[in-house]
Every structure is written in C-alpha cells, then in structure tokens.
Amino acid sequence: MRARLDRLEAVQQVVLEISHLSASCNEPVGFLRNVHQAIGRIMYAANFYVALYDEKTHSVRYVYEVDEVDAPLDPEQFFPLLTPSESPTAWVILHRTSLSMTAEQDAVRAWGTGTRSEHWLGHPLLSHQGHVLGAMVIQSYNADLLFSEEDQALFGMIAAHVSIALERLFSFDKLEQAVRDRTQLLKQEIEIRRKAETLQRALYQIAELSVLASHHERRFSRLHEIMSELMQAPNFMVAFFHAETKEFSIVYFADEIDSNATGTRFPLGKGITSYVVQQRRALLINRAELEQLISDGTIEVLGNLDSYSWMGAPLLADERLFGVMIVQSYRPELIYTNADLELLSFIASHVAAALSRMQAAEDIQQAKRELESKNLELGQTLKALTSAQSELINQEKLASLGRLVAGVAHEINTPLGICVTATSHLVEEVALLRKQFTSGQLSEQGLAEFLDICDQSLRILTTNSQRGATLVRSFKQVAVDQSNEMLREFELRGYLEETLQALQPKLRGKAVTVQLNCVPDIRMHSFPGAISQIITNLLVNSLVHGLEQRDDGLITINAIQDNDMLLLQFQDNGKGVSNEEIRHLFEPFYTTKRGQGGSGLGTHIVYNLVTVRLGGQIRASSSPGKGLHYEIRIPLYHQSSTDNAIKNTSPA
C-alpha cells in the first residue's frame, strides 16, 4: 500500500514538473529531454522518442530520440508518412490512437526497419481541437522489462500533458517567430533608409530633410528651399496618393502662374501626373514631347500648356507608392537636364524613405495599440469569466443548501401537522367537557372518555414533537456549518449521522440504502460545513446519475483515521462512468445530464472543497456497470489550526 502511494506521489510530481517545464522551456527538444528524465523516475524509459507530424506535408521528424540499440535519426530530416501500415509510429499518428505491441505481434505485422523490441508502446499527441501533433513512444528490448497496464495508463496520461505543453510551445514559437520576423524586417527597412539618408546628406547637403521624420509637421516648404539651392525650381508641387480611393491630394503647391491649389484632390487618370505614376519612374518631358503625348492620346491636359520643361518623380519605397513630386518651368531659358532629373529622383527617393520610416513607426505604434487593446480585452474577458464561474459555484452551493432546507421543511411538515390536528381535537374536547360540567351533565363515564382522549392526544403530541425536534437538531448544525463555513472541532461520526439524517428527504421514496462505517471518537478540527457539502453533493450525484434506475441501490461511506489524515471513501453500486468521463469528472460545467437539470458543478465544487478548502486530495475511479468510487484524503487538523497553535506557543 505504501509503495502504491509513493508511486502515486511520484506520478503527481512528474505531472507537476511537466506543467512547470512547459511554462519555463522555450524550445521543444529541451522540454522533451526533461520530460524523458521525469518519466524515467516512475517507469523504465531507457528507449524513448518523440515524432512530430507535419499535416501539410504528411511527414514526420524525430525531434528527440534515445535508443540503446539503434542510432538516432537526424532530427531535422522529414520522413514521408502516407499509410498506417508503414510503421507503428505511422499507425499511431494516422489512427490517432494508442498502440501496445509485443515482439510477437510486431513479427506478424513486420513493421519498420529498426530493431524489433520486446514491448513497444506509443501514444498520439493530440491538440485540444483533436489535431495530431505527433506520437510519443517508449520501448524495451529486454523481455524481463515489459510495461504493465498501470505503466501504459500512466504513459497515456503523461502523453496528454505533453500534448498540451507542446501545443502551447508551438503557439508561443509561432507568435514569437512572427514578431521576430516583423521586427527584423522593420529594422532592416529603417537601417536601409538611415544609410540612404546619411549618403544623401553627405552628397547634397540636405540634412534639413530630417525634419520630414516628424509625424506632426511635414515641412515641404523647407524642401522647396533646399531644392532651389540645388536647381532652379520656381514651380514645385508635392501630391500624396491615396490607394483606397485612387486619388491624389496636393500637400504643397508653389506656382508662378496658377493660384495656390494646396488641399485640392484629383483622381488617377490620364493626366501627366498620373502618367508618371503609371510609369513608376522619374520622367523629363519638354514641350515637344508633351504635345506629342497629347496628340497620341496618351495623356490629357488638366492644367495649362505653358510649360517649357517638366519633371516628375514618383515617391516610391519598397514598391509602395506614397505620391509624386513635380518641378516645371514656364521660361524658355530654363530647361531641365538629365542631371536635374537624377537629382529630383534622388531627392524623391529620400522623401519616400522618410515617409516610409514614418509609416513604419506608425504601423509599430498602431500594432502596439492594437496588442494592448487585445490584451486588455482578453484580461477583462478572463476576469469576467472567472467572476461568473465563482458566482455560479456560489449559487450552486446556496441552491444545494436551499434544496436541503426545502427537504427538511417538507419532512417536518408532517409531524407538525399531526401536532396541530391533535391540539385542535383536544381543544374541542376540553370545550365539550366544560359545557357538560357547567350544565351538570358530566358523568363519570364522560370524564373517563375525556381522560382517554387526553392521553391519546398527548402521546401523539409527544411522539411527533420529538420527531420534529430530532429533524431540526440534525439539520440545525449542518445548515449553520454550510452557510457560515466556520473552523471548529467536532466529532466526525456524530456529524456524519446528522448530515445523513438531514438528507433523509432526498432518499425518501427511493430504493437506496446508505451504510455509514465510522468508528467513534474520530475528532477533527476543520470546516464541518465543507465535509457536509461534500457528502451532500456526492450522495445527490449518485442518486441522480448512478442509481436512478436501480431498485437495489447501495451507497457506502467509510471513514478511516490514518495517522493525522482522514481517509474518506464514498462508493455506490450504480451504472458507473467511462474512462473518458472520468477524465472530465471534476471539470466545471461538465455533466452527463445536460439539459436535464444537471449544472455540471457538483463534483467541481467537491474538488475545490477537498483540495483548496480542506487542503486534501481526491481521486475517482469507475468502470461502466460497476459503480463510482471516490477516495478522499484530508488532514484531521486543518493547516490554519496548526498555524494558530504554533503562534500561541511561540515566545513573545
């Protein structure tokens, strides 16, 4: 028995360790190595490997492998996985179910190319949505070291925890990689723009253009001044392009002939500005070329035809169009050259780089704001869900107490009704006796009959008032404990008897027998209300879910003192539950009576009361047709009682 408990504690420690590892490890191989070491502490695990499945390519790679006989495969190499008959690993992954195979069974199927093991055990790794992540395998080449059914069950449980951890690691890795890729891309873009700006400032002495990095102030008038120092640019325009509306908006306009058009919007069409944008390169056009383009129908004139020389350069950065810069001359003596065009193109690329940097900074800020908003929304949602769950649990506890009150009230109603009837009858007999006495008609026989009636009525009153008092006394302390949750010392057997007495209305009319096995003088200093709530919820669950269709129902409650611990066993002979249902038994809102009055909180409340309120442990076991068994271990003296005792005995 002690060895069994030690192993259970070791298993629990391994599960907790895997949970901690999933939170602390950032890469799968290190996590799986630690998992392998943890498994080795509870079972034979000299040969262990994990294969991860890529559903898109239908292939696997053996990311972690330790084997006493065969050399490990390349963890970076992908192996195709087409049919379950290829290997036991393929069978486990593609069928999404576990496989236990001896050497004889392996010889019949002739699977794989590796050395045949004496016992091969594999479990699929499944996400919470049912997708296959891979397989976890353990095997033995020694015929004396085979895996027991308990080993197989433990390995399957650990595989489920590893699945959850790997899914969390993969999600975290994908998010982290996406953030790293995006951050690296933005860093590269900003670095490229920074180098380009440094070169431009050194060659053309236009360091003042750095003011364009300001999000709140785009000083294109200063840009016009710098350009005027490098070339003659009396007529200068900058227009931004809006891809969503296919329009241009003029943000700066200086012209010797036309009036100020700043703020004007015009569509992308067949104008000369649109022509430059469509060509996606800087263009130098003189009057003759302009007239030819108009004659060919390539462009349409939207402004005047007084230009002798016209230059336009699109503001392009990483193939993204931000707008266009235009310089033109109305004087025949001012004709722009290819050198001017190159300078304009260079300045345009610089302006586009500045705009791209601003946009990248704005994108980062926007992404940050969206992420903060999402985090805040998720935090509020989690808080609301936690609050709702807590409220539902409290409501369920109060509802349970209310049902107990209603049942006892209904039970007390019968003896009280009999008492009222007997009292009324006695009052009538007293009035009749007084009338006969006053009129002188009272006979000895009449007096004797009156005394008989009084005797019968008093016996009825005594019996039923005592019955009601017993019910009230049994219910009183249980109800107070469940509502106040006070820490106090009590005698366990008497308290359990009072609890079961208060639950008699639940059992009335049902073919169910409750057996309590508890020796006297087991004293506890704990929360009796929690214990009463546990017994109530377990008994009601058995009546509703396990014994509803039996005419020979039996519920057995055993309370055994084990040193400073209490072993509480609750057993029914109902229909039992499956292994899948056992896995979800203590989860909140899980019920097999969905839509039939089951809240799914009964066993969840029991789990919280045992583990949190009483500081103990609970385990459930069952199989279909063989009832449900709970084993609860709780301290006889609650931790807070021990702490208070230490404080009272400590020196001042």
Highest mean pLDDT among 98-112, 233-247, 483-497: 233-247
Structure tokens belonging to residue 239:
């227009």
Dump pLDDT digits (tens) for 425-458: 778 778 888 888 888 787 878 788 778 788 777 7
Position 219 pLDDT exceeds 70: no
Dump pLDDT digits (tens) for 555-592: 999 999 988 999 999 999 888 888 888 887 777 666 66
Looking at every residue in the chain, the average pLDDT score rounds to 80
Distance CA 266, CA 271 (A): 10
Where is average pLDDT lowest: 256-270, 303-317, 333-347, 418-432? 418-432
Return the closest-CA partner of residue 138 out of 35, 18, 211, 57. 35
pTM of the predicted model as reported, rounded to 2 decimal places: 0.36
3-state secondary structure of 34: helix
Query: 10 Å Cβ neighbour count for 298?
Result: 12
Residues 6+ apart with CB under 8 A from 630: 538, 568, 569, 570, 571, 618, 619, 620
Give residue 631's pLDDT.
93
Give residue 203's pLDDT.
47
Q: How confident is the model over 112-135, as a mean pLDDT?
A: 88
Where is average pLDDT lowest: 221-225, 342-346, 397-401? 397-401
Distance CA 176, CA 134 (A): 22
Return the closest-CA partner of residue 251 out of 234, 241, 263, 260. 263
- The 10 Å CB-count burial string (b at 16+, else e) for 418-442 is bbeebeeebeeeeeebeeeeeeeeb
Higher pLDDT, 313 or 197: 313
Q: How confident is the model over 545-552, as a mean pLDDT?
A: 80
Return the closest-CA partner of residue 277 out of 321, 336, 236. 321
Position 647 pLDDT exceeds 80: no
Our CA angle for 425, 431, 436, nearest 5°, is: 125
Residue 80: Cβ-neighbour burial (10 angstroms; 0-12, 13-18, 19+): exposed
3-state secondary structure of 651: coil
User: Using an 8 Å Cβ cutoff, are 248 and 239 in contact?
Assistant: yes
